[in-house]
Structure 1
Amino acid sequence: MIPQRIFIPLYIIFIFFIFSSCQKKASNLVPINTKAEVVKLISIADLFNENKKTDSAFFYYNKVKFICNPITDTENYVSTINDMAAIQQNHADFIGSESTIIEALPYIKYLKTPKLAWNTYVTLSFNYLNTYDYKNAILYNQKALTLKTESWRNLAAKNNIAVILMEEEKYTESLKIFLALITKQEVKSDDEFYAKVLDNIGFCYFKINDLKNAISYLNQSLKIRQKEKRPFDLGKSYIHFAKFYKKSNSALAKKYMLLSYKQFSIINNVDERLCALKLIIENSSNQELKKHSIIYVNLVDSIFEVRQKAKNQFAKIKYDSKKDRDENLKLKTHKAENELQLERQKNRNIISYIIIVFSLSLILVLYFYLTSRGNKEKIEATYNSETRIAKKLHDELANDIYHTMAFAENKNLSIPENREQLLTNLDAIYSRTRDISKENTTIITDENYVWVLTEMIAGFNTPNTNLTINGLDTIIWTTIEENTQITIYRVLQELLVNMKKHSSASLVEINFKTLNKNIIINYSDNGYGIDINDIAFKNGLHNVENRILSIKGEIDIDSGPGKGFKVFIKFPF
């Protein structure tokens, strides 16, 4: 290890010689034209994408993103960003897709092709829809409507808005849009689009209890879809029929549930299969209930693993590319500086050369030392994270699944109370799986950090828990170290998870403020509280305490049975 007291004076000498010998910086660097390379890489990526090799396609699209000039070659840049976001979206990585697609937004104004802007807005709206941000989902479809594009794109954007309103259970508003759409010739001439709108109209009528119109439109849609024979569209029709007949004719409803599951299985659409399975489980009993429950649990487990691997893979591709690019820029910068230094110091004496070479050697040694230490810390962090995840999966998720299977085997599931308990257990398993996924996602620490932190905190806001945040946007997070940002994110996440698991709080408040070059965070909830001398609980907060101490911060916990839970955090910036 290089002692700082030796390195710093030598480094100052090196800087002095550089500035004393350099009268001006070289400013005549000629930008490289990368358009030919961009076109070549896009062709390779497109070929992989067409052959469903999305990991390779994502890799080459990401290479394009780093060498493409977003201002002089905006079309290729935005198109590439759209393709990357679409790949992540198809793997259900909606947060990752959103993070990718927003990189295109600053350059929309340079586009000459409106359809690329339309694709960007619609892709972003779909991500918001799948993360339940309906307000922004509608907003970006409305932005798409303002563009001068083909009429079918405007109709598609209107259809998207109607679908979002359906998700918000605003069926009357949604119905008005759908009814207007089926009067358009472009819709009528497209059987797939026309059948989709008819099916949604029928479902909206069903939800507002106009059963006569509902069955009429559902039948019209099904008739068209049976001719087209598209498994996904048939599955959607069948599942709407199942919901329509669920109360009036359970046998017929069950038939449509099974038909829907069969169609979605043909194309291996996991999300829709899970929806169909959930309906089947709700309307099954005994061995049939057990059979479908096991299928449901296994399907949830398998898709979680597959999607998590895909998310990690895409995140790694982006991270590795950025790292390589940064290192290449550093190497080019060092090379230019060295050449300039040699040119301007050719008449200096041998002592100057020795000092410069020695200083450069120290810098290189320090660089490789810091790189090696950083890699070691990353490996240790990865190992600890994997160990923690494995422990959670074994201690929590696996035990819950075993308990649920045992419950299904030993209880009479024809009894409503037992059936309801099984569904509750399955829902708890799903929630726990989703929580583990959220706890281990990559944390963004750029200018979007405030938004990401807000989204994470807001995710704990439920009908039974009112959560408020004050002062978050008053802090300039971009001036705070990346490690500190990640630490605060994880600490707040840990506190909120503990709140959700243990406190049953109905009110949670998190306040941020700065004072004397320190950031202060006050967390409080009105939950059950706990005796701070409780050893088990202190162990639960061990990670929180260690994280705060690692950033040279202070933490104070105040709680008691029936007195809620309060945490005071202070750290320098």
Structure 2
Amino acid sequence: MIPKRIRFYFYLFITFSAVFSCQKNTVIEKKETYNKIKVTRLIALANTSFGENKLDSAFYYYNEALSMSSPSKDPENYISTLNYMAIIQQKYGDYAGSETTLTQGLPYVKFIKDPLLVWTLYTTLGNNFLNTFDNKSAILYYEKTLKLNIETEKKLISKNSIGIALIQSEKFNEALTIFLPLENTKEVIINPKFYGSLLDNIGLCYFKINNNQSGLDYMLKGLAIKKKLQNPDELGKSYLHLAQLYESKNSSLSKKYAILSYKEFSKTNLAEESLTALRVIIKHSSDEEFKTYSESYISLNDSIYITAQRSKNNLSKIKYNSKREKEENLKLKTHRAENELKVERQKNKNIIAYITIVLSLCMILILYYYLTSKANREKIEATYDSETRISKKLHDELANDIYHTMAFAENKNLSQTENKQQLLNHLDAIYSRTKDISKENPAITTENYITSLKEMLSGFSTLHINLILTGLDTIDWSEVDQNKKSTVYRVLQELLVNMRKYSEASLVGISFTKDQKNILINYADNGKGIDTDKIIFKNGLYNVKNRIHKIKGQINISSSPNQGFKVSFKFPLS
């Protein structure tokens, strides 16, 4: 139970905490709320610039929207913004920056309801790893996309990306296990761009495992489809794969396809792919051609580096300026909020003091009345418990003794000196027990316990009731605790009183046995018995059961109508 003084201080602590929380709420009210309309408008501007290929402007607006976004309140817009920013960084070759941007969104993926947003995030991450030759990580994120509830077309893209990562890891046979099942898929066949790219990749895998004929067949099929589409990017890839196929067998044909590849890549400014094509051309060139293509390679390589570096710097500058502006605005807002807060605290200082005093007085009064009422209640409960205990003793001990004495006087010839003396002894015992109850002492204090127990038991033996005792003298009762001896006395007395009142028995048997740890007592009579299924444990039987349990004993009652009444109980010696 918590001490009164500690409870008092606890209540005061709660009071002051409530008061000071009022001051904290003032600060919270100064925080700006999330402006979804403004964020949505910025995202719309960014999307327009992105669609017009104005990537720097798009990145600026996306970054502004991100600085105002709330990932907890609006995770959809937050993840969408990160996806677009990462894609722009990826287009500029800033794969590390793109990965860093997307990593911010990973903790909030679990809150996204639109699986397409998650697919885009995982796919973009996978592409970053693929472009930095971390193929294992790339495959990991591509496989994550396959677990999403997305349309078949997106799953085909993911599977194709896994195959490309396996090619890059030079696991060509594993790549074929991905590509070949897709070859006859309806969704692939009706998509010429995807189908042509797939056939070309299958051809490349066969070429890499030295199955040149199958490789050539698939590459030419893919090329035929791509020629109809006139897509420079895809045509350039097919021509480059054919150049690589003939590189060690037919240098002139390899050079021819490499030149075609270079021309196609040049149409869309695919710089990295153009460099790959130029390397093959230079390998098979000489004299002036070698010099010309080498100069083109060096110039393009320098241009790629400068452009990529400039783009990275521009994007970093956008993020830096946005961050600095945000920090400056935050400082100004914080300074203004602090000034307003000081003014408000000054205004509310007296009010807070009054509230503190009033609440403290109220809590003290409540605590006073609570403790006073509790003390009164405890006094009433103590009085009730005392009265109940005395009442129980009167029933359990004195009433049974009186009934025993009445039964003795009724069935014995009091003209005999022996019976008369025994009656006087019983009355003297009743008187002693009455004093015991008033002094809260145990009722059974007789030093010669066996004699006292025998006298009590024999008092129930009449002309019509035969009482048989066995084993009582075999137990060394000096080893038994006084409380347990008293319990045995009262339990047997209660059973015999019930027998005289209700059972109409003519024969009663009580046996005492002892093992190493327990004393076992069996009671049986040939009375009319009771139905144990309908037995109600109250008054006498309740007292019997309760007494046995208090000395950590066990009791078993068995009886049935007209079959007598049996009780066995045991309790530990120590």
What TM-score bracket applies, with the shorter chain setting the length? 0.5 to 0.7
List structure 1 runs of 4+ shifted beyond 2 angstroms.
21-25, 27-31, 342-348
Equivalent residue letter for 1:24: Q
- Measured against aligned partners, the alpha-carbon deviations of 1:447-500 in whole angstroms (never above 9, x if no partner) come to xxxxxxxxxxxxxxxxxxxxxxxxxxxxxxxxxxxxxxxxxxxxxxxxxxxxxx
- Measured against aligned partners, the alpha-carbon deviations of 1:38-76 in whole angstroms (never above 9, x if no partner) come to 111111111111111111110000000011111221111
Q: Deviation at 1:260?
A: 0.5
Could you say if the C-alpha distance between residues 32 and 346 of structure 1 is closer, same or farther in structure 2, counting changes exceeding 3 Å? closer
Could you say if the C-alpha distance between residues 338 and 169 of structure 1 is closer, same or farther in structure 2, counting changes exceeding 3 Å? same
Q: Deviation at 1:30?
A: 5.9
Equivalent residue letter for 1:263: E
Identify the residue that residue 329 of structure 2 maps to in structure 1. Answer: 328
Identify the residue that residue 384 of structure 2 maps to in structure 1. Answer: none
- Measured against aligned partners, the alpha-carbon deviations of 1:246-298 in whole angstroms (never above 9, x if no partner) come to 12211111110110001001111111110000111111111111111111111
Work out the CA distance in 2 between the residues paired with 1:23 and 1:148.
47
Work out the CA distance in 2 between the residues paired with 1:225 and 1:23.
71
Equivalence map 1:44-443=2 (5 Å): 44-345=45-346
Could you say if the C-alpha distance between residues 23 and 287 of structure 1 is closer, same or farther in structure 2, counting changes exceeding 3 Å? same
CA contact 2:30–2:337 (8 Å) conserved in 1: no
Equivalence map 1:475-494=2 (5 Å): none
CA contact 1:124–1:137 (8 Å) conserved in 2: yes
Q: Deviation at 1:31?
A: 4.6
Identify the residue that residue 23 of structure 2 maps to in structure 1. Answer: 24
Equivalence map 1:469-508=2 (5 Å): none
CA contact 1:22–1:344 (8 Å) conserved in 2: no
Bigger-Rg structure (1/2): 2
Work out the CA distance in 2 between the residues paired with 1:22 and 1:43.
41
Equivalent residue letter for 1:154: K
Q: Deviation at 1:146?
A: 0.8
Q: Deviation at 1:33?
A: 3.6
Equivalent residue letter for 2:272: D
Q: Gaps (5+ residues) in structure 2?
A: 1-19, 350-574
Work out the CA distance in 1 between the residues paired with 2:21 and 2:190.
71
Q: Deviation at 1:183?
A: 2.1
Q: Gaps (5+ residues) in structure 1?
A: 1-20, 349-573
- Measured against aligned partners, the alpha-carbon deviations of 1:364-396 in whole angstroms (never above 9, x if no partner) come to xxxxxxxxxxxxxxxxxxxxxxxxxxxxxxxxx
Work out the CA distance in 1 between the residues paired with 2:226 and 2:118.
31
3-state SS of the aligned residue for 1:298?
A: helix
Q: Structure 1 length as normaliser, TM-score? A: 0.56
Equivalent residue letter for 2:61: Y
Identify the residue that residue 562 of structure 1 maps to in structure 2. Answer: none
Could you say if the C-alpha distance between residues 22 and 281 of structure 1 is closer, same or farther in structure 2, counting changes exceeding 3 Å? same
Equivalence map 1:513-528=2 (5 Å): none
Equivalent residue letter for 1:157: S
- Measured against aligned partners, the alpha-carbon deviations of 1:274-331 in whole angstroms (never above 9, x if no partner) come to 0000111111111111111111111111111111011011011111112222222222
Work out the CA distance in 2 between the residues paired with 1:22 and 1:209.
76
Work out the CA distance in 2 between the residues paired with 1:254 and 1:89.
31
Q: Deviation at 1:24?
A: 2.9
Work out the CA distance in 2 between the residues paired with 1:306 and 1:347.
60
CA contact 1:182–1:197 (8 Å) conserved in 2: yes
Work out the CA distance in 1 between the residues paired with 2:345 and 2:152.
64
3-state SS of the aligned residue for 2:309?
A: helix
CA contact 1:226–1:234 (8 Å) conserved in 2: yes
3-state SS of the aligned residue for 1:248?
A: coil
Identify the residue that residue 500 of structure 1 maps to in structure 2. Answer: none
3-state SS of the aligned residue for 1:339?
A: helix
CA contact 2:86–2:101 (8 Å) conserved in 1: yes
Work out the CA distance in 2 between the residues paired with 1:40 and 1:346.
40
3-state SS of the aligned residue for 1:24?
A: helix
Work out the CA distance in 1 between the residues paired with 2:342 and 2:39.
34
Q: Deviation at 1:135?
A: 1.2
Higher mean C-alpha displacement, 325-334 vs 165-174: 325-334
